[in-house]
Each structure stands twice: as structure tokens, then as C-alpha cells.
Amino acid sequence: MQGAPVPLDVESYPVTPEGLDLEQVHIYVRHGERTPVRVRMSDPPASIPADWQMCDTAKSFHETVAGHIPTIDDGLWYRKVVENRHGKTAEGLCLLGELTDIGKKSTYSFGTALRSLYVDRLKFLPPKLEDERLTYFRSTNIARTIESLQHIVHGVYPPSTCAPGTIPSLIIRNAIDENLVSNTLACKRLALLELKFAEVAVAVWNPRLKPLDMKVSKYIGGRPLRLDGTPRASGILDTVRSAAAHGFRVPPEFMDDDVIGLIESAVTAEWFNIKSEDGRRLGMGRLLADASERMRRKAQPDSPDPTKLLVHSTHDSTLAALLCTFDVFDDKWPPFTSSVTFELFRKRTPASGLRALSSVWRRQDEHYVRMRYKNKNMVLPMCAEEGKHLPGSPEFCTLEAFQRRVEELTPRDWAEECFPRT
């Protein structure tokens, strides 16, 4: 089925051209498999369960009692129990939008794949984490992304591979300060722009969806399938993809590539197809500026910055927005646990004699950025011109060209640009 997970493939990771050394890796990964965010299509004939019993892992917690210095026996034990809308409980019952046991397994596997690639194969990271500054782990303040990151970290550096006293930090920001997503909460103008994009998509795609009514309306109470319908087409796609990922039976019409492909095209146009420069600046500009600044610091001669691996646990919308911003989006909904990666490379400059002693020559080291998605290198249109990429390897964008484009995308005064215009 379209939208199936695309695990990180360590074996197919391409060998880099001779003379390039990996310096820093920025990863933006969608959370693992979760339950739908709303109950949809639970009535016959679709009969997709309203309650999912797929959340058995980590339901018990140990919280320190407030006001006490904890001892080995101190604290409050409890179990998290989910109650459905009918007041019923069941073992392993999930909340809506919750990371499931399958999602926890896939994110842990993503972490172990990162370790296999960057520790075992490339020797880029040490087998044992002795300096927490080597890594940077950050999540949006949503339970499913936080839990996903916890499992990823456990796969990359489990406790047995961390030096005593070295505990990886999971960084979280307040929602108003978040830049791991297109922050419509804090940026009203961005919210209005996205609403306009969605309205255009409705006008274009609703007529194209109409022929599907005879096939799928029976599964949504006889109502038409529309981007702005009830339920919305995006909600139907979410429920179908989530159900299929967890092995639930999905109506056969939604297994038809032509049917689900048309729905996916419409939904991605509504949610992700941001072509305007303003939308890109306000959506991903600040996040890319942060990444670009970290790369700049890392690329300095004799850089004191120890950070090598940065993993951000986020959402499908972030991955799509990053891909859209660089004009390489494939118009497919990003699968669970899929990731966008930016790798910073340094090209070694041969040195001998006085040249080896000169800091001037060291400053001439060239740096390149490679973007990857779904185990593939992305050839960025902005780096297509001669001189903007590594000769013979167009997927390696010069750091200068990358930073120049990011600078264009960086709001000079984000708060001012976010103020709605008349």
C-alpha cells in the first residue's frame, strides 16, 4: 500500500566521493506509528475499530512525591489507564493520536539504524558516549514525538553505551517558541496564508474527488469525500494509513492505488503545497536558519563546536515543508518514522610544507551539504548551477549556496512579518 514505512537502509547508504569527511548530521524524523487523531469510519461497512488496544508498553510510572527528598523507597507508583468515551477500560487501550507499541518499535529501530550507520559503519560517532555535547536531541512538546525520541535515543546510545554520569538530554520548547513546525499559533499571518492555500486546493481538488463518491461514500455515512467535508479527506487518509500500518482491515477501495493516490494528491496539495516565498520564510525559515548557523560554526577552522549528531523528533508537516521549501517534495504524505537529513561534509585540502602550517590554507577547505529523504539523495534545484555543487556530484550543494538560500528564507523580524497585513 502507498504510504508504507521506509526504514532507514544502512546497507544502501552511498559511499561519498573521495576526499569528503562527514562533519555534522541534522536529522528531522517523523514520529512512529500512532492511532488516528479522531475516531472515523468505525461504523459498518468500514468497521475500523474506534478503540485500539495497542499501547501495552510503559504504562507504569514512578513519580517522586512532591516535597520529599527521594530515597529508594520514596515515591508514588501508578499505572496510566485509558478510559474510552463509554467509561470502559481495557488492557493496552490507546489514546487518540498516541504512539503505539508498533510506533515505539519502529522508532527504536530507527535509532539502532542510526547507530549502525554513524557509529559502526562510518565511525563518525564513538561507540561510547562520554561527552553529551556530541549529540543534540530535541522534540516538539507532543507526547508521541517525545516518546518517539526517547526510543530513538535508546537505539543510538542505550544506557550501557553511556559513560557514568552521561545522560542524553531531550530538549523541548514552549509551543509559542517552537520552530520545528510551521508555527501558526505564534504567526497569525502564516495561519492566514495556509488557509488561503487550503482554499485554493479545495477549489481545484474537490471536483476531482467527486468521481470517488460512488466507491467510498458508503464508508463515511453516505457523505461525499471532500477536502472540506465531514469527515475531511485528510482525516480519512489519516485513519486509513494508521489502520493499515497496524494490520487492521481497510476497505478494499482504499487499497486501490488509483483511489488512495488521488486522495493523497488532494490532501498533500491542501496541507503541504506551499509555493509562496512568504509561506516558506514564515514556515521553515527560522528552523533552517538555526541549522545553517550550526553548520557555519562547525565549518570554521579549528571549530570548538563538538556537536556531530542532531536529531529532531517532529511531524509529517515539518518533513513536507522542508522538502517543499527546497523544491524536492514528491507530493506523497511522509510515512511514519521517515526522515529528512542534512549532512555537512568537509573536502580535505592536500597540505604539504609551509602550506600545512598556514591557517590561511585551512580556511580554504570547502564544505558541502547533502540532503537525503527516503534513503535517496536529493538534488536541490537551487544548487544546479556550475559552481554551486561538487563537480560531478550535484547532490552535494556547496555550503555557500545552501547558506545563501537559507539567508533569503530567514525572516529579518519574524514577529513583524507574522503580523497580518491588510
Determine the 3-state secondary structure of 328 from DSSP: coil
Residue 65 — very low, low, confident or very high, per pLDDT cuts 50/70/90?
A: very low
Over residues 160-203, the pLDDT tens digits come to: 999 999 999 999 999 999 999 999 999 999 999 999 999 999 99
Over residues 247-261, the pLDDT tens digits come to: 999 999 999 999 999
Cell of 164: 557514568
pLDDT of the residue at 368: 98
For the residues 307-326, what does the mean pLDDT come to?
97
Q: What percent of the chain has pLDDT over 70?
A: 91
Element (H, E) at 314: strand 309-314
pLDDT of the residue at 356: 52
pLDDT of the residue at 58: 56
For the residues 33-47, what does the mean pLDDT come to?
97
Contact residues for 114 (Cβ-Cβ < 8 A; gap 6+): 8, 27, 152, 155, 156, 309, 311
For the residues 2-23, what does the mean pLDDT come to?
90
Let me know: does 135 contact 115? Beta carbons within 8 Å: no
- What's the predicted TM-score (pTM) here? 0.93
Query: Distance between CA atoms of 184 and 194, rounded to whole angstroms?
Result: 9
Verify cis geometry, omega within 30 degrees of 0, for the bond prior to 45: yes
Over residues 358-417, the pLDDT tens digits come to: 544 444 579 999 999 999 999 999 999 999 999 999 999 999 999 999 999 999 999 999
pLDDT of the residue at 78: 72
Let me know: does 34 contact 98? Beta carbons within 8 Å: yes
Among 69-83, 148-162, 268-282, name the one with the lowest average pLDDT. 69-83
Residue 1 — very low, low, confident or very high, per pLDDT cuts 50/70/90?
A: low
DSSP tag of 53 = B
Q: Checking phi first, is residue 335 left (phi over 0); if not, alpha (psi -120 to 50) or beta? A: beta
Phi, psi of 352 (to 5 degrees): -155, 150
